[in-house]
């Protein structure tokens, strides 16, 4: 892609989105971010990016340009909290994503959709275990149908427990950031029972590298972007050291998942390079 091309990132002020924006600017693209700042932060703004504040359902008004590529990351993205935020999940993940797909269809702009690996959890049962998981899985079907119905160019990626700089540590945050905050505050790390839930943790730099490659070269479904090493939540807590307190389980807390990054590896040579243990050691040494 040439430097004249325009890329739109929904959720561009969020954790993953801000890192993606930085990588795209570095490659010479014109980058526009659309973010409602529900979990995105203005502190995450990247020099050279054009920021628009608002909802994805209003994308036509807020971004009248015709981008060549749209990365759709701007959805509700927490599994367990989604039971408490049903109206937000519907607004962001159903209404908003439909508006984004219509926007792309009218412009025939390629869309890269950030799907969720919850779709594959617990032998496929994970797609129905929470409002978040269901909407994300349903949206992957919708994206594929837009490709079949309207010849919309698309690619679908799946993230696996992303960690790294700019993680949130509140109730919408990531496991690693929440554990790091608890340890920094001198509190026991709380782990939801049974603690044997297994996850593949993937550094945001690896995710962004995969997203850029998929945006430039990918087509179709099944671009898993996840590390091949996995840990139980108790094992992650142990990496931080100190006391651990077990607390009751919550709905939507999947037990196991498998990662398949073979398509990204075969087509682009992508493979996660970072290791969670090294990242946590770095956090501990900086405190």
Q: Quick check: 274 pLDDT over 80? A: yes
For 32-51, letters b (16+ CB in 10 Å) and e give bbbbbebbbeeebbbeebeb
Other CB atoms within 10 Å distance of the CB of residue 187: 12
Q: Tell how far CA 272 is from the center of its chain.
A: 15
Q: What is the pLDDT of residues 20-69, one digit of tens each?
A: 999 999 999 999 999 999 999 999 999 999 999 999 999 999 999 999 99
103-112, 118-127, 144-153, range with the lowest pLDDT: 118-127
CATH topology of domain 6-286: Rossmann fold (3.40.50)
Average pLDDT, stretch 84-95? 98
* DSSP conformation class of 246: E
Under the banding of pLDDT at 50, 70 and 90, the label for residue 2 is: very low
Q: What angle do CA 230, 235, 236 make, to 5 degrees?
A: 80
CB contact at 8 A, 33 and 24: no
Average pLDDT, stretch 192-212? 96
Per-residue confidence (pLDDT) for residue 285, from 0 to 100 = 67
Closest by alpha carbon to 121, among 260, 261, 258? 258
Mean pLDDT score across all residues of the chain: 95
Tell me the C-alpha distance between 225 and 161, whole Å.
Answer: 10
Under the banding of pLDDT at 50, 70 and 90, the label for residue 124 is: confident
Give the number of C-alpha atoms closer than 13 A to the C-alpha of residue 267, restricted to the C-beta side. 19
Q: Quick check: 287 pLDDT over 80? A: no
Q: Quick check: 3 pLDDT over 60? A: no
Per-residue confidence (pLDDT) for residue 188, from 0 to 100 = 97
Q: What angle do CA 22, 26, 28 make, to 5 degrees?
A: 120
Closest by alpha carbon to 205, among 276, 136, 146, 156? 276
Report helix, strand or coil for 276. Answer: helix
Q: Quick check: 153 pLDDT over 70? A: yes
- Alpha-carbon dihedral sign for residues 190, 196, 202, 203: positive
Q: What is the pLDDT of residues 165-193, one digit of tens each?
A: 999 999 999 999 999 999 999 999 999 99
């Amino acid at each position: 892609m040439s430097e004249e091309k325009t890329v739109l990132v929904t959720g561009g002020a969020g954790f993953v989105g801000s890192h993606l924006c930085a990588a795209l600017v570095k490659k010479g693209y014109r980058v526009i971010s659309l973010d409602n700042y529900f979990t995105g932060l203005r502190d995450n703004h990247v020099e050279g990016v054009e920021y628009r504040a608002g909802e994805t359902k209003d994308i036509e008004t807020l971004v009248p340009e015709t981008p060549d590529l749209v990365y759709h990351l701007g959805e509700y993205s927490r599994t367990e909290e989604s039971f408490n935020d049903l109206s937000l999940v519907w607004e962001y993940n159903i209404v908003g994503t439909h508006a984004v797909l219509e926007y792309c269809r009218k412009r025939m702009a390629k869309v890269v959709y950030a799907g969720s690996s919850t779709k594959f959890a617990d032998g496929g049962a994970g797609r129905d275990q929470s409002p978040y998981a269901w909407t994300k899985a349903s949206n992957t079907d919708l994206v594929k149908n837009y490709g079949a119905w309207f010849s919309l160019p698309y690619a679908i990626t799946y993230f696996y427990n992303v960690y790294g700089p700019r993680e949130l540590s509140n109730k919408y945050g990531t496991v690693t950031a929440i554990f790091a905050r608890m340890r920094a505050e001198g509190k026991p790390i709380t782990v939801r029972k049974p603690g044997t839930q297994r996850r593949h943790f993937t550094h945001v730099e690896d995710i962004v590298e995969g997203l850029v490659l998929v945006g430039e070269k990918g087509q179709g479904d099944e671009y898993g972007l996840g590390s091949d090493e996995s840990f139980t939540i108790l094992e992650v807590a142990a990496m931080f050291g100190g006391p651990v307190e077990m607390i009751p389980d919550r709905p939507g807390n999947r037990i196991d998942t498998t990662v398949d990054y073979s398509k990204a590896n075969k087509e682009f040579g992508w493979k996660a390079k970072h290791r969670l243990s090294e990242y946590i050691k770095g956090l501990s040494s900086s405190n």
